[in-house]
Structure 1
Amino acid sequence: TSGTSSIAQRAALEALEGDQGPVAAMVEEFVKRRDYMVEALNAIPGISCIRPQGAFYIFANVSAYFGRTIRGKEITDSLSFAEALLVEAQVATVPGVAFGADAYIRFSYATSMEKIVEGVKRLADFVALAE
């Protein structure tokens, strides 16, 4: 068969016509998380990003650290940066090379503000060790 089931159609109708309060609350929360993260990332020397207009990802330029060493690990590209950040600081990101932009890594702010604050702190501490 083809087409959307009647149950899914009713659920979609309710989502579109029902109470939008929870949606507005989540949008507001994501804006707070995004704005905090953009400001915090741009405050870290050698890291820069622009304010995203959609989804819940930030693409940050980390190429200032390419050619440097952090805790004995040579940073040569977005993959080596992301791997070292995961191993040394327990911060998970996606290397920009996966999107055709090797100078960048992707962060998600689809988590709690507490985890964002801790993750940014760990990132700042990690890059402060660059030689």
Structure 2
Amino acid sequence: FEQLAAIIDGVEDKSRVGVCIDTCHAFAAGYDLRTPEACEKTFAEFGKIVGFQYLRGMHLNDAKSAFGSRVDRHHSLGEGNIGHDAFRWIMQDARFDGIPLILETINPDIWAEEIAWLKAQQIAEAVA
């Protein structure tokens, strides 16, 4: 996240700056998302270093590649090395409300199911 912060620091008009986090890219870069605790730690670090005021969108996808591998290979939600917990956590955290959450998984045949599952995670939190 330090590289993002450095870029933002170099911009004079910060109102024109925003970042998009891709879950597979973050995972491959060494930001753990495999458990709710790991998500909390990773996004606390993001908040401290970059700041949620700059988060303008997310790309949601699981990872075929290993944690910290620096290899970007998207997978369907819950079928890769990240697992469902991260996406459930994201959908239930209000810091991600109101920004585009873009599904970038590999199997168009199950996109509708994945979207329905993501929406159900928000509803589950609202009921709880």
Shared fold per TM-score greater than 0.5: no
Choose 1 or 2 for highest CA Rg: 1
With structure 1 as the length reference, what TM-score do the two structures score? Answer: 0.23
